[in-house]
Structure 1
């Protein structure tokens, strides 16, 4: 199927889902909409702003002022194009990921050629051919366009669609060597959802590798451009809100403090519902350190030569451990996995993870109905499903990392196993 046909079919499916009678049900599902990205809360914030009421005075609106201004303009001028706009945004995300993966495939080819002489003779057959490298971008595009998580995320008209677009644009800018573009888009994504700030590390490494300059100078320049862009966005947002920085508490503060405990597919809501209040600050800090700080240093030290893998893993971890996750975040990082198709043969948990994704995706809505509407289940049932879903994602990420390490070892040491010059044998006693 050609690129145009894929985009047309995916676009028609999204546009049709937005106009069906069940759209309201899709848009309000807890797996799709959260207090941060909900379309319902967005239009409420726009309504308050249109009536000269500060939407950040209450506890219903948590988007950035830039998003508020943008959607206020669109709803006032051309509200009828909103379904088409979300569809175009999502298709653009897929195309940017396609372009990005093509650049990454070229980088894989170049790095493979550099180390070709160091690869063991037994492992020469494992080298990636041009045909295999060219297949990856097609798979990336297909997975994003037809992944049910991504499709439902767009159909629910959540602002995660825009966040995914900004992250994809930043990855494309970094893979093309455009420092200002990459930093500007990742600053916009960070300004909206905070957690994309993690991606500045792989982006800085990627830009240093592509530009082939002084690494330290390149890192500093990238970080400086990012900080300036983010600082400008914070200042401009305050300017929109008549010079007030009160919006910071209802955006960044809301993400970090987790005051709204409406159930979602994440891990925060249940823990803080059951927790004694005097322990809350301790565990909020522990959970946010886990989501924002804990993995960045060890993963960077181990995979600094693979910034693409580092970016993929950091996006996945932030999707798992953020305070208000949704299926749109999951669908985005799943679409990046085909770039690592050559690692799938080294992965041992593929079947288990695949089954867990299917089962939990089916059980989630079922258990939610039993809990909320039938009254024959309780919060423990739904949290058990979300915990299993998060566990499956963790297995997926760790399996991917171990697969990379195993392939790296095999390329260097060969695929044959011998002990004292004789073939190795596994004996069960």
Structure 2
């Protein structure tokens, strides 16, 4: 090669393949910087199902993507959160598929609170001291709301999740949506305005044409601490505690906490969970009605059985008509004997007195005898009332054998045996066909 050919070759720039250039840059970073320790605030932290962690660290001048693989993540003794100031140690490299600069983290440790997180703690402490988080001011959720208000962005996935859950569980309950920004500098004022609109409806409930609002859902999907910062705004917090109806805050994922969560009457881990807290499935109510129906039926049957037992006990106390007739007959016989004996005694006493008294007392004796006859007549009337025939006149009968023996039990009458049924006005001849026990 001549001098001119060599000079021409040097003057032409080298043409790189993309992958080769990425590898060359990675090799240069490896030789120049690694290993490296970087201090910054965590933002956008997430943990994949594989156990790998992905996030960025930033400061006022820049931001750097980080990847922490499962083995290194298992060695951490805390769960990183957005806004925390940390120190990460690892190796700079290039993610060749995207050409991104990234830091492969070998270890991560806290370096103190980030500025954003410190502001969060400061606002939280101030509002907590003023009683905005007190459990005593928080209200229970309505068991069956007549209407549900929702504050979120119309384009947010959270609205789709909430609408899907409510449509599936309580399609009969009306839902009122108050659109709001949920991210950015204008979001706090937008959230306050949306909440205020629903408050006005809730306070006018019962008026003609005003839809009911018994509970409000304040929801947003997950994001970094910066993405959720509107829900840490002090004015938003003070507006939440002024709500005339319970407020459920479902912002971010389960691990995300905002000032709004502490001010709300109840915090839900996700927007979907917030919807489910006020949407008891319709089938649960139907199952409850079925259970109530079963309990009512069981109570009615118990009452019927109880009354049947009382009826049986009353029947036992009344006894059979034949037994009652025998008892009355014996009692009537005793009354006759006592009356006859008493009458004889009285007559004998009066006879002796009549013989002993002078003739002047004859009239008194006659009057006394008349009174005694009246008394005897009364006694006869009373005995007539106790006559067993009066019982027969009410539809009862006395069953006897042909010889006159009273039949009081089923086993006393054999099949085919001729019997007599004594009625009030006569006697019937009957024959036993098939005895039955009660």
TM-score bin (small chain):
under 0.3
- TM-score scaled by length of structure 2: 0.20
Q: Which is helix-richer, 1 or 2?
A: 1
Q: Which is strand-richer, 1 or 2?
A: 2
- TM-score scaled by length of structure 1: 0.20
The one of the two structures with greater contact order (alpha-carbon pairs below 8 A, sep at least 6) is 1
